[in-house]
Structure 1
Amino acid sequence: MSRLFALLYGTACYAVFLVTFLYAIPFVAGFGVPKHIDNGNPTALPLAVGINLVLLTLFALQHSVMARPAFKRWWTRYVPAVVERSTFVLATSLVLALLFWQWRPLPLLIWNVEGEAARWILYGLSAVGWLLVLASTFLINHFDLFGLRQVWRHARGQGPAPEAPFVVRALYRIVRHPIMLGFLIAFWATPTMSLGHLLFAAVTTGYILVAVKFLEERDLVAHYGETYRAYQRQVPMLLPWRKRQDEASGPAVSSTTLRPDHRAP
């Protein structure tokens, strides 16, 4: 593949991701953008729920299938390996954009916090969740995670970067999946919870729990074996206050950085 084309393609995919990620914040918060989780054309309740579930299922399928090693081995027969990650990022961004565009509001209120101070506290907590997501990507390798490192090395005539050993640091010593924890905080910390927002938060929470436990962690155990099993014993998956098992039950995990492709399921 042309080095310049790969670099331009990877950069464009990252730009699409960045716009999508930034739009997701006010979309979930329910204000600040023309189309968010609580506005849009009214739709009959059964139809609205059905459309929203289809959109969420489409995202879950795309995100999980394309992230699996077996799919990547097949996919890179047709897509150059240097832009595989960028293509994954682009596909995810487009599916999210479709969800933002076609999401149907369900305005029935589940709760509404009226105190101004309490509302700002919840908005602040949601912002902490989004910042946790972003910060956690830099604790692994943000630019590798979103495909920029690969196309940059290719543009410079360098081969794929050598795989880093499995080691952890910072937030990854508190929970195994701080990115997913950040999303959960961002989705649930809201002063106004509509039925539509509740549906979004509940389905995405279920997806995160299932995909992390039965897909992402299965792949990591298959790749790292006992090293990752020891990490599982020593560090909780999502809840930082879960009691850790005795470190004597397995080898300790060193403290530097995680593998570059440790990403959302």
Structure 2
Amino acid sequence: MKKLLMFTYSIIAYAIAFSSIIYWILSVSNLIPKISIDQSPKIPTVLAILNNVVLISLFGLQHSIMARGWFKEFFTKYFPRPVERSTFVLFSGILLFVLVSQWQPIGGIIWSIEPNTTLYYVLYALFFIGWTILLVSSFLINHFDLFGLRQTFLELQNKPYTPLNFKVRSFYKYVRHPLYFGMLLGMWITPIMSVTHLLFAIAITIYVIIGTRFEEKDLVTEFGDTYKDYQKSKPMLVPFTKAPKK
């Protein structure tokens, strides 16, 4: 019964997290005005910026703290180890929803491409390609391990958890973090770039750069020289930006 409850918990966490990602994508797409981040300003600009800084800081701190090894060890002293990843996913999903839904618009347009033009459709195509890269990259790692379902499913089957092997395939042959590259592509490539969207994109970019540095240290600890060699041969976030060694 306990194992079934853990698996159910991981399914709920997954559903919340995945729904929050879909909500995020739609909110920055400008395709559904009612949930778009590019609505009319509701509060003074200074308060809006302060609000947004607090939101992105909370989101970043949660990820940085809960993803660290010392926190995982602390967590598993009081809670079952199989639900550790699902708990991270659950809190990430909740905070992502809060981040997007409470992000305060500021107003102002940086650029706006005329609808129904070739460039308009090209930018939207790149926008969705970015988010598709993010999703596909999660499966290349192991989507269900990344979101905590594999851990509790193995527990439900009375099988020990086995860490994932280090593999370099598909997008990972060109960039070390294609998942983040897809995220950034989706955030920056848009037919309509408002000041609100720009600040959101900048905030997410800063979060990704800082978070990736911590993640890289964990990967070196886990995979050692194998990952160090990978670091030397592939760029971190942008494909084809690392010159091959002579």
Alpha-carbon distance in 2 for matches of 1:101, 1:239: 29
In the alignment, the residues of structure 1 paired with residue 94 and residue 171 of structure 2 have an alpha-carbon distance, to the nearest angstrom, of 29
Tell me the secondary structure at the aligned position of residue 196 of structure 1. Answer: helix
Match of 1:17 in 2: 17
Question: What CA distance in whole angstroms lies between the structure 2 residues aligned with 1:226 and 1:157?
Answer: 33
Task: State the partner residue of 2:241.
Answer: 242
User: CA shift at 1:36, angstroms?
Assistant: 2.1
Q: Which residue number corresponds to residue 133 of structure 1?
A: 134
Asked if 1:224 corresponds to 2:223, the answer is yes
Runs (5+) with no aligned partner, structure 1: 248-265
Aligned pairs (5 A) from 1:1-265: 2-32=2-32, 34-39=34-39, 42-114=42-114, 116-160=117-161, 162-213=162-213, 215-246=214-245
Distance 1:221 1:151 in 2: 26
Deviation at 1:88, TM superposition (A): 0.5
Do the aligned residues in 1 keep the contact of 2:40 with 2:106 (CA within 8 Å)? no
| Distance verdict in 2 for CA 1:45–1:185, change over 3 Å | same
CA contact (8 A) 1:110 1:195 kept: yes
Counting aligned pairs with the same residue, the percent is: 42
- Offset, 1:130: 0.4
Q: Distance in 1 between matches of 2:131 and 2:238?
A: 17
For residues 138 and 206 of structure 2, what CA distance do their matches in structure 1 show?
A: 22
Q: Distance in 1 between matches of 2:178 and 2:58?
A: 24
TM-score by length of 2: 0.94
- Check conservation: 1:233, 1:245, Cα contact below 8 A: no
Task: State the SS of the aligned residue for 1:86.
Answer: helix
The aligned residue for residue 263 of structure 1 is none
- Amino acid of the structure 2 residue aligned with 1:228: Y
Displacement of 1:235 in angstroms is 1.1
In the TM superposition, residue 41 of structure 1 has moved relative to its aligned partner by 5.7
Amino acid at match of 2:231: Q
Check whether the contact 2:41–2:107 (CA below 8 A) recurs between aligned residues.
Answer: no
Q: Cα 1:63–1:19, aligned 2, differ >3 Å: closer, same or farther?
A: same
Tell me, yes or no, if the aligned pair for 2:137 and 2:178 is still in contact at 8 Å. Answer: yes
Quick one: which amino acid aligns to residue 246 of structure 1? K
Q: Report how many residues are paired.
A: 245
Matched residues in 1 for 2:6 and 2:34: separation? 33
* Partners of 2:226 and 2:216 in 1: CA distance: 12
**1:167-215: CA deviation from partner (whole Å, max 9, x where unpaired):** 31111111000000000100001111111100000111112112212x0
How big is the alpha-carbon RMSD for the aligned residues of Structure 1 and Structure 2? Answer: 1.6
Q: What residue ranges of structure 2 are gaps of 5+ in the alignment?
A: none
Matches of 1:19 and 1:197, distance apart in 2: 20
CA shift at 1:31, angstroms?
A: 3.0
The residue identity in structure 1 corresponding to 2:191 is P
Partner deviation per Cα, 1:55-83 (whole Å, 9 max, x = no partner): 11110111111111111111111221111
Q: Contact 2:26/2:35 (CA < 8 Å) preserved in 1? A: no
Aligned amino acid, residue 32 of structure 1: I
Shift of 1:19: 1.2
